Every structure is written in C-alpha cells, then in structure tokens.
A and B are shown apart, each in its own frame.
Chain A
C-alpha cells in the first residue's frame, strides 16, 4: 500500500486542495485591503462582481457533489479527490462570500442567503468532524459483527430469554414476555440519537431482578440467575446496537441540515442575483 494510494480525503495528495484554497483566500483578502474599491467595498465593485461570480459558481460546483456521488459512470474520477476539494474549497467560500458582502449586512434576502451559506459551511464542518472521529469508534463497537448479524443475534438472545423465563414465577415470566413484546429499538434518526439505556425495559428488568433474586431461594433462585445472565447478555448486546445506531445517526444527521440548506441556498442565490440585477 503505497502511501500516496492510501490517504484520507483530508490528506489527499498532501493536502493539495487545502493549499490551493489557502493561497486563494489569502490573495482575496490581500486584494480586499490593498485597493480602495469604488463605489463601495461590496458586490457592486468589479472586485465584488468577480468574487460574487466565483462564489456562485463555486456553490453550484459544491452542490454538484450530491450528483457526482451518485453517478457511477466509468472514468478516472475519484470521489475522495472530490470530497477533498469540496471540503477545502467549501471552507474558502467562507472567505470569498464574506469579502463579497463587504461586511454590509441587513434584514434582506442578500444577508439571508449569506446566513444560509454559513449554515451549510458550518454543518459541513460538523460533518468533517464526525467523519474523522466516529468511524474508529464505530469499528471498535461493532467488532466484526455486521448490523444484520447483531440484529439476528438479538433475536436469538430474545428467544433464549423467553425460554429461560418460563422457569420463573408467573408474574416474572409475564414481565419478561411483555418486555419482549414491546420492541425496544427505534428507527427514527432523532430517537436513535436519544434512545437511552436508562429507559430501556431490559435494563430495568435486569435491575429489578438483581434485587429480587436475593430474596428467594432454591430452584426459583437458580432459574432467576439464569434469566439474569441472559438479561445481561441482552443488555450488552442492546447497548452495542444502540451505540452502533447512534454512530450511524451521527454520520448521517448533519447531512439533514447540509443538504436541505444547500437546496434553499441555491434558491436564495437565484433570488439574490435576480434582485441585484433588476432592482439596483
């Protein structure tokens, strides 16, 4: 594995796009302060026009990543290279966009467009943060098991629990059966993030049984110890699955802001451009 071949999107080709974006941003900032633009330091000057055009095209190009990611045509493209450029050029847009405004903000559609752009970029920064921090933890957590395997295993352990619980006293058996009937894994993204251990019926049953087992004796007690050990196994499995789902949610959730905000941004961008040309 030659080093050049195996690098992350952030270090792609020694950070070629990072350097490019940095140099470009510095030049823009330099020019901004080097000249006294007429009439004002904003989109109205030739400098402002240039930055505005570059910025608008850049936004369209950045948004095109959504299409690039899903077009699997033959060719010498690499999505890693695209992501790398996307991240760094996207960050430089913060400079380009801000300079383009000439720091003239107000309660209007122009500033709204700017705010949205910042929102997209901020969410992107969160995305990158999750992309570099979550995978490792997700990998450790899933430890070779695939999601399907984890769910299969959960089903098996649940069945085992049902069987072992038959040796308990009726009320306890019923509690286990009720608990199993209630599905404990939620699917929505937000619930996945919030789904907690404390409220998990399995964990509560485990806690209660651990207390109860000390008050009984003989076969019943032995039966309950068996149940407890299965509950414990199920508890750790559920924990693992929840963590897995949480990690997946973290890796996806920010896109739920990034993408709709991008779409809104493009709409506002069009409004902004039309407004500028027709009403000025």
Chain B
C-alpha cells in the first residue's frame, strides 16, 4: 500500500458504506489515485451492524445498478463477503476516522483521529446518517470498560454492570443482561430523569417488575460524576454515591453527523432536523470539490447509494453528460405527459411552474419527483372528495382546480390557480379531506406523498411559511364557512400565530381572563372542568375544530380548561379581531353561537348538578384519561376489548393470524385495562404515525380508508418497530402453509387454526434455516378483506370493538348527561 501522507490523491472518499465503496470501486477501475477512509475496523459499518443473517433487499426493483461492486438481494453475510473480496482491488484505510476537512478544491487536507493527514484534490463524503454514539463526558469517560453498544448480553459473568440511558436501547440492554440469572451479573440502570418517559410501555413495565423482584436496580435522577477502574461516583438526590462498576454500557443516543459536516463548511438547506446538505445535481456541496452521497444526501436505499458513488466519480473524472441511473424511473413517472423522455425539461418545467418547488435545487427536485406521482386530469374530474382519507400534497403545474366550499350546495366553488398547492389540510392534520376538489380545466398535477412533502417543508423554510399561511387561511374558511371570502379574513390573519402545545400542557385555564380563540390544526384537545376539586372530562376536540369561543363571545372568564391530549399545534386568533369579524358577518355570528349553545348547555348542566355528580363523572373522567394515556388521543381507529364480555378464547388473535400469512398482529392479553376496558397491543392507526418517521423505502402508507399499512417494499430494517411507542409492530416472515381446516378437524393434521407454534414451523422446515426476508408486520385493519377487521368478526361474544376516539368519547359522554 502507498504511504498515504506522501502523495496527493485525486479523490479521498470518506466512509465505506455502499456509497463510498462504490465510488472507490469506480475510481480504481478508472485508474484514479484514491483512498477510502473508514472509521471502524471493517467495511460498511451500517450493514455490518445489521442483525446476523438479515436478508438485505435490493429495492427499488426497477432501478438498474451501476457499480463495480455487485449487489442483489441476499443475506448480509453474502453481500459483505462479496464486497470484502472485491475491496481488495481498492485502496482502503481502516480505523481512519476523519475529524477535520480543510482547504478547497485541488487542495483538501484531511485529518484523522489517529493524527494522520491526507491530501486530496476532491473529497467525497459518504458517512451515512448513523452518526456517532454520544459519549460520556465526565472525568474518566474514556476508560476502556465503557462501551456504547451491547452485542451479546450473555457474554458477561459475575460482573457489576451499569447501564446508562433511559431509552428503549438502554432498557433492552439491561433486561438482556439479567435474562439469564445463572450468569449472576448485578445490573444497575441509571436515568438522569425521574421517569422513563421516552421508552415503550412494555419495556418500562418489564423494567419495573425486574426492579421490584430485586433482579435489577434502578437509579433515577442520577448521573455519573466520575468513572474509575472498578467503580463510579454517581450524583443522586441524596448526594454523591460510589457504585461498583466492572463495566459501563452507555446508551445515550447518537449525535447526527451534521455538526461535523457543517464544520467542513458545507451548508444545509435549513435548520430543521430533517434537512439535508444543499447539493448540486452532481452531488457537489457548497464547498466546490467536496461531494456528499448516499444516505447523507437523502437517498436511504443501498442501490441509490451505490449508483451515486459511481456517478460522482464519473463526473469528477470529466464525464459530465452521464445521465443518472434513475432516469428510466422518471421517464416512467412522466408517462402521462407528452414526450416523457425529456426528463430534465419536465423537471425544470415543474420546478419553475410550481411555486413551492421554486427554491429547490435540480437534485432535490429529482429526489422529490422520485417519490411523487404526476397526474393529468381532464376537466370536471374529481381529484378527491370530502371525507376521503388522504395526506398527500397536490401541486398544480398547469391548469386549475375548483374547491367545493359548501357540502350542501355543490355549485359554490372557489378556484385554486396554476402554481398553487392544495390538500395541505390533510397533510398537516392527518385527518380526512375537508373539501371536495375537481379539475376545472385540463390540469397537470404533482402529488407528493406525506413523507416527501414533510421533508420538502423541512428543507425549504420559505415553503413552510407560505404553506402555513395558505393552510391557516383555508382552514379558517373551511371551519367558519358561511360564504366567507379570503378578503374577509385579512385582518384576523394578521393576528394569527402558530403554536405548539406539548401533551398534557394547558392551552386554556379555567377562570383565566384571556379571550383568544384557538383552531386545532394538529392533534387533539381535552376539555375539562373543575367540579368539587376534581377535573371532570367534558369533551374530546379533534383537529379541525375550534375552542375558546365562549369567553370571547361572553366577555367572561374561561369556564373550562383545555389541554392537549397529544402533542398538538394550534392557530391562535386574537379574540378582539375575531369579534370584529363576527360583528361584520351576522350569519357567521349566528352559526358560531349555535355551535356554542351546545357546549354551554353541557357546562351549565354540570354547574347545576355539581353536588349530585360525583361517581359517574369521576368514573367517566378516569376512563377518558386512561384512554388518552393509551394513545387514543392520536388514534384514528383502535381495537378495544370489553372485558366484561371477553371469554379469553383468543379467537381474535387466531382470526388475525389466519387472515395475514399466519402471523397475528395483535396480542389480546398484553396491554392495559381500566374499568374492564382493555386496550390490547394492537395498532391505533395514529393521525401522525410514529412508525412512518424514518422508513427508508417509504413502505408505510395510509390506505384510502384510513388504515396505516406496510407494503411489500419493506426492507426489514426495523425502524418502525423502534419508533412505535405502542409496541405493535413486529418483524416476521410468513408462516409456512398448513393442512386444511377439515383435515385438521377430521384427522388432526397440522397445528390447527391460528399462528403456528415455533416448534411446528421448525419441524416443517426440516432443519433448513428459514429463508426469505423478515419484514415489518402490523395491523392493516384487514385492508382489502371483505367484511373488515377479522378480529371483530371472529369475536363470539361481542367483546372486541373497533372505534375512533370521537365515537367512543362522545357516546360515553352522553352517559354523564
């Protein structure tokens, strides 16, 4: 190997993931002088860290691979083996963590942690998005017995181990360490805060029960002050304590690589957490000669990463005309348009026509279009209807659409012109469409799905602001109705501000004297009233409704409190401005008063019956609070079990397994219960599904009827499983097929209906290791199955019910009345 510090390389590639490897492979093939710098002692750390035997998917199928390295779907080991042997032809430097990049094109100077410096004409960053685990900062935080991951919990024996961190990773590690008591490890889990609020319920429950039995010690409100070889000083509520520690496992989350990249001079599109570096169509950053590719460029799939590695090297080598490998995908996307082959022209057309795309770079444009759809609508054709489920954003590239503003009078419409967007309400609130929209003239529309749209908003702050304004205005028009026009709102819009409210935070306090009106744009609220010292639950208010109008109308104090059921966003409107608006619009005033009469009736009823109230209301309040805590506040449809009727036959689970490849997506017995109402471990189909947060292939979507489901493009990475706070997603492969029901009844063949036991599956596999990928599975509400949810249909006694929170909390409220 060349002695690196002696020469200047044509190109230094940092990070040996699929992107970096592929770049290095192409550079070697072209005979460019190059070096591939990798932080760890092996190649491609992200993939190296996948679970043993993980089946790696090569999505998207339609995309051709352009790389010197081979890649097709297969096991982690296979792929890494092939890459490792191919890597012999490139110049790799392992254990070379880059900590600084200085200089400019033709003269970059790269420093590694080990103290080496490397010079290069061009630099390619392919360091992925995993980042570095946060490290311990206290004195002694660099001792050798501190580790930041746990590969094999059974590897330690008779040790004092401290696990630091209150997230799922820390808790799971700690539980793993005590799973085999015969190993006699003494485990302490340490949390800076008083509660484990970031972790999943099931994990916390297991942790608490382990601590109750003395199998583990929990130290809350504690922090390490100094680490010594066999012990650590820990600050607790009662002062400093010294704790034995043969090993410390710190699971403190990881810092995204953004800081490091910014320190190289690279600009990001915005300050948002989701934002990526600003890149040219050739992946060049704001620092000429410095390129970013792979997951860090916003392309989270292996094939994309590898193609970019190839393309970026070709470009540096002077081949600037090379069309990206995803060109055919875009041609396919534009197939409804004349001459779809003119990809760059169409991209440019859309970018300049659609206002919110104006600020995008051509590369970002490409990326968003890959996730989007292009439709051509003939005049009068419906785009979507009121109450349809949908959370995508539509952009009008050409033509215009009309919105029906009054569901009772179809002739009343307003026009949304070329260049504008629509559908933002569903995107923001996660609820059903609030109006019907059809094409007014022949229109070219771009439909950007939820995740891509959210990324878009995050990337371009100006877009976020303008979408927010449009959304507020339209939400006001939609909620208030009564033939209001945009112009009528100009004054009140001046006072409108957006606010975020954390779960359980109060938006309005009873007896306060403010008089602002709030429109709930995301999330939901709970209205409470104090009766005899207790807060009584009055109502559940979902997104798309307003609260606070009573005090404004009556010039009085607040008669009830309003708090957020989940993290929510509201639009605050100044009470005075709202009043002026009402004064100018008598019809509007009448409709607001009509709605508010209902609320007042309930209020005065409670006032009048304060004393006789007690029991029922308390019970109902407690139950409502329980359900809110179980995530029903953000649910759109949840499975509940009435335990007064549940005979525990588990036919619901069996039916679920029978309807979905032999794997049950629900666990009846697990979960929590209150007043005989049981919330089993089963998907709630959240308004803003946590599981969607980071799905590389965008496989989690919302179906037309509102179900959140995972499609076949799932790559089995397990992100969604980690993100779901309710623990309802599991990684599984379909169970093998079973003998028929009748041969089971008549001859006892096979394991019978339901999810087959592991032992049977093993026997059936005849010693062969299971093949095929494990994919994420969760409840899809029996999407596409006639009759709907199998769990409910198969319940013999009527204990299993599916409800949306509004239905549920409303019906129960009527009991109080």
Q: List chain A positions with a Cβ less than 8 A from chain B.
A: 1-3, 5-9, 12, 67, 69-72, 74-80, 82-83, 131, 134-136, 138-140, 143-144, 146-149, 152-153, 156-157, 159-160, 248, 251
Contact flag A1-B213 (CB < 8 Å), given A79-B794, A139-B676, A251-B648: no
Q: Flag if B785 contacts A74 (CB, 8 Å).
A: yes
Q: Flag if A72 contacts B797 (CB, 8 Å).
A: no
CB neighbours (8 Å) of B799 from chain A are 8, 135
B397 located at the interface, meaning its Cβ lies under 8 Å from any Cβ of chain A in the complex: no
- Shortest distance from the beta carbon of A136 to any chain B beta carbon, whole Å: 5
Q: Flag if A71 contacts B651 (CB, 8 Å).
A: no
Contact indicator per residue, chain B 194-238, by CB within 8 Å of chain A (1) or not (0): 000000000000000110011100000000000000000000000
CB neighbours (8 Å) of A157 from chain B are 213
B181, B785, B793: residue with the most chain A Cβ atoms closer than 10 Å: B793
CB neighbours (8 Å) of A78 from chain B are 792-793
A160 in complex: contacting residue of B214, B670, B787, CB < 8 Å: B214
For residue A248, which residue of chain B has the nearest CB?
Answer: B648
Given contacts A6-B642, A72-B655, A148-B669, 15 further A-B contacts (CB under 8 A): A1-B811, A7-B798, A71-B741, A72-B658, A74-B786, A74-B787, A79-B795, A82-B796, A131-B647, A135-B645, A135-B797, A139-B644, A156-B209, A157-B213, A159-B213
Q: Flag if A6 contacts B209 (CB, 8 Å).
A: no
Q: Flag if A146 contacts B787 (CB, 8 Å).
A: no
CB neighbours (8 Å) of A159 from chain B are 181, 213
Q: Flag if A146 contacts B670 (CB, 8 Å).
A: yes
A7, A12, A71, A152: residue with the most chain B Cβ atoms closer than 10 Å: A71
For the complex, count residues of B whose C-beta is within 8 A of A. 49
29 contacts between A and B (CB under 8 A): A1-B808, A5-B801, A6-B801, A9-B645, A9-B796, A12-B798, A67-B741, A69-B794, A70-B745, A74-B659, A76-B787, A78-B792, A78-B793, A79-B793, A79-B794, A80-B798, A83-B796, A131-B645, A135-B643, A135-B644, A136-B643, A138-B643, A138-B648, A144-B671, A146-B669, A148-B669, A156-B215, A159-B181, A251-B648
B88 located at the interface, meaning its Cβ lies under 8 Å from any Cβ of chain A in the complex: no
CB neighbours (8 Å) of A248 from chain B are 648
B120 located at the interface, meaning its Cβ lies under 8 Å from any Cβ of chain A in the complex: no
Q: Flag if A160 contacts B812 (CB, 8 Å).
A: no
CB neighbours (8 Å) of B214 from chain A are 160
CB neighbours (8 Å) of B215 from chain A are 156
Q: Flag if A72 contacts B213 (CB, 8 Å).
A: no
B340 located at the interface, meaning its Cβ lies under 8 Å from any Cβ of chain A in the complex: no
Give CA–CA (A12, B658) in the complex, Å.
Answer: 25
Q: Flag if A1 contacts B647 (CB, 8 Å).
A: no
Q: Flag if A83 contacts B797 (CB, 8 Å).
A: yes
- Shortest distance from the beta carbon of B639 to any chain A beta carbon, whole Å: 12
For residue A138, which residue of chain B has the nearest CB?
Answer: B648
Give CA–CA (A50, B658) in the complex, Å.
Answer: 40
Top 4 nearest A-B pairs (CB, nearest first) are A139-B643, A146-B669, A72-B658, A156-B213
Give CA–CA (A163, B684) in the complex, Å.
Answer: 43
CB neighbours (8 Å) of B673 from chain A are 139, 143-144
Contact indicator per residue, chain B 764-800, by CB within 8 Å of chain A (1) or not (0): 0000000000000000000001110010111111110
- Shortest distance from the beta carbon of A66 to any chain B beta carbon, whole Å: 8
Name the interface residues of B637-682: CB closer than 8 Å to any CB of A.
640, 642-649, 651, 654-655, 658-659, 669-673, 676, 678
Q: Flag if B646 contacts A139 (CB, 8 Å).
A: yes
Give CA–CA (A75, B785) in the complex, Å.
Answer: 8
CB neighbours (8 Å) of B658 from chain A are 72
CB neighbours (8 Å) of A82 from chain B are 796
CB neighbours (8 Å) of B649 from chain A are 251
B803 located at the interface, meaning its Cβ lies under 8 Å from any Cβ of chain A in the complex: yes
B152 located at the interface, meaning its Cβ lies under 8 Å from any Cβ of chain A in the complex: no
CB neighbours (8 Å) of B811 from chain A are 1-3
A72, A136, A147, A157: residue with the most chain B Cβ atoms closer than 10 Å: A72
CB neighbours (8 Å) of A5 from chain B are 801, 803
For residue B680, which residue of chain A has the nearest CB?
Answer: A146
Give CA–CA (A156, B745) in the complex, Å.
Answer: 39
B214, B647, B676, B794: residue with the most chain A Cβ atoms closer than 10 Å: B647
Give CA–CA (A72, B799) in the complex, Å.
Answer: 18
For residue B800, which residue of chain A has the nearest CB?
Answer: A80
B265 located at the interface, meaning its Cβ lies under 8 Å from any Cβ of chain A in the complex: no
Give CA–CA (A262, B654) in the complex, Å.
Answer: 24
B659 in complex: contacting residue of A3, A72, A146, CB < 8 Å: A72
Give CA–CA (A12, B753) in the complex, Å.
Answer: 26
For residue B678, which residue of chain A has the nearest CB?
Answer: A139
For residue B181, which residue of chain A has the nearest CB?
Answer: A159
CB neighbours (8 Å) of B647 from chain A are 131, 134-135, 251
Contact flag A131-B797 (CB < 8 Å), given A2-B807, A139-B673: yes
Give CA–CA (A78, B644) in the complex, Å.
Answer: 19
CB neighbours (8 Å) of A69 from chain B are 651, 794, 796
- Shortest distance from the beta carbon of A84 to any chain B beta carbon, whole Å: 8
Give CA–CA (A248, B669) in the complex, Å.
Answer: 13
- Shortest distance from the beta carbon of A11 to any chain B beta carbon, whole Å: 8
For residue A134, which residue of chain B has the nearest CB?
Answer: B647
- Shortest distance from the beta carbon of B755 to any chain A beta carbon, whole Å: 12
